[in-house]
Amino acid sequence: MARALSAVLFDLYGTLLDVHSVATRADQLFSGRGAALVQLWRDKQLEYSRLRTLSNRYVPFTQVVEDALQYACDALRLPLDAAGRGLLMHEFTQLAPFADAIPSLRRLAAVGLTAGVLTNGDPGQLEDALCGAGLEEYFDVLLSADQARAYKTAAAVYELGPLTLGHPAGELLLVSGNAWDAIGAKWYGYRTFWVNRSSAPLDRLGERPDGIGRSLEEAVDFALRLHGGGT
């Protein structure tokens, strides 16, 4: 029989917070180029985090984000001065939450289910982002990849959940807007839910999340079924 759920851990960027919400500010700096800049910026953040983990060359995620921003501007031939860099880096700490984030987190709080964040973001970045989005009150635990000195999908990052919460991975649910993250957590032993907002195809990594839906509301529905002992 499957174990009942003990806690839900959420990825932050692209799951609770819309990483593309910074495009409006980017477009003010580089008219008509904001969306392209933000997409490349995000892609490079993920690429650099993986390369650094593979090569054991960890730096805090804030540095990864800044390096990715500079690369994206260089690649798109956008003149990024110190003021623009500071503005966009600050904007990254003020990302807008998805509209379903707060209602979904309130539902978890109402049933007393432990909720946390498991993110690549470093501790200061994480706290700033949650405060800026008005989400900080909904979490019992904040877990940063900085504690593991590596980034997802390294096992050491997912291990933070069981180590901190005192429950085996099989009693934890990882909710992510990134299929590769949900699969990485599944490899480690979590139950997982992929919030597939854009109807993207599943990453071909030999595994699939336990649940897939279009919204955080669906993720919470799934969590509550597990919490009640469902499979």
Please spell the DSSP secondary structure of the chain, one letter per residue. -PPPP-EEEE--BTTTB-GGGGHHHHHHHSTTTHHHHHHHHHHHHHHHHHHHHHTT----HHHHHHHHHHHHHHHTT----HHHHHHHHHHHTTPPBPTTHHHHHHHHHHTT-EEEEEESS-HHHHHHHHHHHT-GGG-SEEEEGGGTTS-TT-HHHHTHHHHHHSS-GGGEEEEES-HHHHHHHHHHT-EEEEE-TT-PPPP-SS---SEEESSHHHHHHHHHHHHTT--
From the candidates 11, 100, 146, 210, give the one annotated as an active-site residue.
Answer: 11
Radius of gyration, CA atoms only, the chain: 17
Q: Is 140 a catalytic residue?
A: no
**What is the total residue count of the chain?**
231
**Amino acid letter for position 200:** A
Two structure tokens written together for 99: 């509209």
Distance CA 219, CA 191 (A): 12
Q: Which of 231, 195, 189 is nearest to 212 (CA)?
A: 195
Catalytic machinery residues: 11
